[in-house]
Amino acid sequence: MIIGLDVGGTHTDAVLLSSKGIEKKVKVPTDPANLFNSVLSGFTKLLDNRNPEEIKRVVISTTLTTNALVQKDMGPIGMIVSAGPGIDPKFFSTGDHYYTVAGSINHRGREKAPVNKREIEDVAKKLKKDGVEYVGVVSKFCIRNPSHEILIKRILNKYFKKVFLGHHVSGNLNFPRRIATTHLNAAVFELHKTFFQAVKKSLAEKGLTIPIQILKADGGTMTLESSMDFPGQTVLSGPAASIMGAIPYAPANQDAIVLDIGGTTTDIAFLVDKAPLLEPLGIKRGKYKSLIRSLRTDSKGIGGDSTLRVNQGELSIGPDRKGPAMAFGGPAPTPTDALVVLGMMDEGDKDKARSGIHEIAKQLNLSDLDAADHIFKKCCTIILKKTFEMIDVLNSQPVYTVHDFLEGYKLSPQMILLLGGPAKFFAKKIEELYQIKTMAVPKSYVANAIGAALARTTCEVSVNADTEQGIVTAHEEGFAEPISKTYSEDDLIETAYTLLKEKALNSGADPENLDEVEVVEFQKFNIVRNFSPRGKIYRTKIQLKPGLIKGFETVLQ
């Protein structure tokens, strides 16, 4: 059996799955001030009267790192950056503890200026004095040659708890994004480590010692141990869980909209022939433009518990949430209260729901029923307006899915898939208002937890070969080997596949789920000097694609 757990802003959902289907499902309130207790409560209820030895896999998706970014709940982080000739790296400053230092490596990976060790020592002492405990180090062409980053780390190790290196971030060249991503990893590390160590300890006390899997932003999983070096990959794992939970029900050869309507926000995503759209460069959240591979999603601050207000005769919904609906003991009226008044929901205190909606109705000069219906319709309208605005933006630029680059493709969704607690109520109204086929996916109120549980491990590797220099490297993986002049394209792909398989297994992949491998990038350059060929440069990137693990098809029926 396997466990899937999704920690949302309002509720924590947990499911226990076997090859026969859903064995148990629970929903508990999320306490943002104590996420550990929320997770522990979910596990406790889920594992009641269960033999821990039956559990073979645990996957968690979480808003932990996302919330840290949004709330800017991060301690001081040091950044040491070397660039050499070209644009001034000071333009990419991440804050007060950002230092540019001597040292330069060119695009071929050859040193042009050495590291000044005394300068690094001086910077380290300043950062230590300022209370910095975590530091990121980035050299502009580190993926061609990481020697400067490795040397600087060696100097810094005696001063700081952990040092993050830019060449571990991604095999892609993008200096500004590499700086931002390295800083992000260092910034969320302490929070990430504390939370997941607590979860691991609580599971161990219950007799569960199996590796914990974490859902990444790209819809795949990695082990807790793997995530310690790249905690930023858990940003947006919550929306990724929603998408993975919707994929089985999406129509083939058509476009579909995925809406996860939660208590606080609605997450919006799109599928093209069952394949999620991808952020081609990496996550963008505010000023953070990263190299973190991610499914393409967006959020709107509207959900079942959004606060209702009337300003100058106009109804507004959210984006804030003061607590649960009044029907469930909250302090202010919400769309959920409107659903109770309309008789669509049987749960909760109907009298309290009516009292909240009555206050809104008086300000709108409507009856309670008309006000509730107006609230419900406006919720649907706001969510769909945001959705169609996203479609307009996507149709003005190239479209990427996790499988393909679709040049000139225009999204034209013919179906909407809804997830979340109120999904079944919204499905009928949205279809009625917009005349587009709409359905709440089966078990929609825990579909995100199911999506997390069934997501398979994903990863990618980038490999570079230079036959003139006689070396093949994958610095992101800590790999370098000598090669001969006859090293070929086929040799490169074989090297890349071997590294990918090893990385996937170390990240927790099941050997039976290693068949979805594809080459996503390949480049070849001839090296010519004085009109004479001197060798070749090969570059490739291959990936294990996002998808669902095998053996649990019954869950999705």
310 & 283 share domain = yes
More confident residue, 256 or 393: 256
pLDDT of residue 247: 86
| Range 284-297 average pLDDT | 78
Does the residue 59 lie in any domain? yes
Per-residue pLDDT tens digits for 47-98? 888 887 888 888 988 766 666 665 565 678 999 999 877 778 888 888 889 9
Domain assignment of residue 449, yes or no: no
Q: What is the structure's pLDDT at 72?
A: 61
Give all strands (DSSP E) within 339-467, no chain letters: 399-400, 405-406, 415-419, 437-440, 459-466
| 413 upstream amide cis, omega within 30 of 0 | no
Residue where a domain terminates, one of 443, 476, 506: 443
List the structure tokens of 236. Answer: 């947006």
| CB 222 within 8 Å of CB 452 | no
pLDDT tier, 288 (very low <50, low <70, confident <90, very high otherwise): low
Residue 299 has pLDDT above 70, yes or no: yes
Tell whether 450 is covered by a domain: no
Q: What is the CATH number of the domain that holds 284?
A: 3.30.420.40
Domain tally for the chain? 4
Domain end among 408, 443, 478: 443
List pLDDT tens digits, range 520-532: 788 888 887 777 8
Residue 230 is encoded by which pair of tokens?
Answer: 């790249």
With a cut of 90, say whether residue 358 has pLDDT above it. Answer: yes
Q: Which residues contact 352 (CB under 8 A, 6 or more apart)?
A: 326, 327, 329, 337
- Residue 365 is predicted with a pLDDT of 92
Lowest-pLDDT choice from 58-72, 281-295, 362-376, 504-518 = 58-72
pLDDT over 80 (residue 406): no
How many whole angstroms separate alpha carbon 307 and alpha carbon 329?
14
Strand segments (E) across 266-425: 266-272, 275-276, 278-279, 284-285, 288-289, 294-295, 297-300, 308-311, 314-317, 399-400, 405-406, 415-419
Same domain, yes or no, for 383 and 285?
A: yes
pLDDT at 118: 94
Say if residues 167 and 475 touch (Cβ distance below 8 Å). yes
343 and 207 in a common domain: no
**Mean pLDDT lowest among 336-340, 444-448, 480-484:** 444-448
Identify the pLDDT of residue 321: 83
Shared-domain flag, residues 62 and 110: no
Of the three residues 158, 180, 202, the one that is the final residue of a domain is 180
Q: Is residue 141 in some structural domain?
A: yes
Q: How many residues comprise the chain? A: 557
Mean local confidence (pLDDT), 359-375: 93
Asked if residue 338 and residue 379 are part of one domain, the reply reads yes
Structural contact between residues 422 and 305, judged by C-beta atoms closer than 8 angstroms = no
Q: What is the pLDDT of residue 199?
A: 76
Q: Residue 21's domain spans which residues?
A: 2-71+191-240
Report yes or no: 540 and 521 within 8 Å, Cβ to Cβ. Answer: yes
257 lies in the same domain as 202:
no
How far apart are alpha carbons 86 and 122 in whole angstroms? 25
* Sequence-ordered list of residues with C-beta below 8 angstroms from that of 542, at least 6 positions apart, any chain: 460, 461, 493, 496, 497, 500, 517, 518, 519, 520
- The pLDDT score that the predictor gives to residue 165 is 92
Check residue 123 and give its pLDDT.
94
Output 486 or 294, whichever has higher pLDDT.
486
Weakest mean pLDDT among 114-118, 233-237, 522-526: 233-237
Q: Report pLDDT digits (tens) over 345-357.
A: 888 899 999 999 9
CATH, residue 159 = 3.40.1010
Percent pLDDT > 70 in the chain is 93
CA distance 201 to 192: 14
Locate 195 and state its tokens.
């939370």
Q: Are residues 268 and 304 in the same domain?
A: yes
Assign 445 a pLDDT band (cuts: 50, 70, 90): confident
Residue 186 lies in a domain: no
Which phi-psi region, left, alpha or beta, contains residue 435 (left: φ > 0; alpha: ψ -120 to 50)? Answer: left
User: Span 353-382, mean pLDDT?
Assistant: 93
Q: What distance, in Å, lies between the first and last C-alpha atoms of the chain?
A: 17
- Could you tell me the CA-to-CA distances from 158 to 106, 123, 153, 161, 483 in Å, in that order? 29, 13, 9, 8, 36
425 and 499 share one domain: no
Is the pLDDT at 43 greater than 90? The verdict is no
* pLDDT at res. 335: 93
**Residue 168: inside a domain:** yes
Residue 205, pLDDT score: 75
Alpha-carbon distance 34 to 36, whole Å? 5
409 or 402: which carries more pLDDT confidence?
409
**Cβ contact 217:292 at 8 Å:** yes
Q: What is the mean pLDDT of residues 149-163?
A: 93
Which are the contacts of 388, defined by CB distance < 8 A and separation ≥ 6?
none
Indicate the pLDDT class of residue 163, thresholds 50, 70 and 90.
very high
Q: Is residue 104 part of a domain?
A: yes
Average pLDDT of span 509-529:
80
**What are the residue ranges of helices labelled H in 206-331?**
224-227, 237-246
Shared-domain flag, residues 427 and 302: yes
Residue predicted with more confidence, 30 or 407: 30
**Residue 453 located in a structural domain:** no
Q: How many CA atoms, within 13 angstroms, populate the side-chain half-sphere of residue 7?
A: 31
Q: Tell me, yes or no, whether 131 and 266 share the same domain.
A: no
pLDDT at residue 404 tops 60 = no
Q: What is the DSSP string of 242-257?
A: HHHHHGGGSPTTSEEE
> What pLDDT score does 408 carry?
65
Is residue 404 domain-shared with residue 546, that is, in the same domain? no
Considering the domain architecture, whether residues 254 and 235 belong to the same structural domain is answered as no
pLDDT for residue 29 is more than 80: yes
pLDDT reported for residue 400: 60
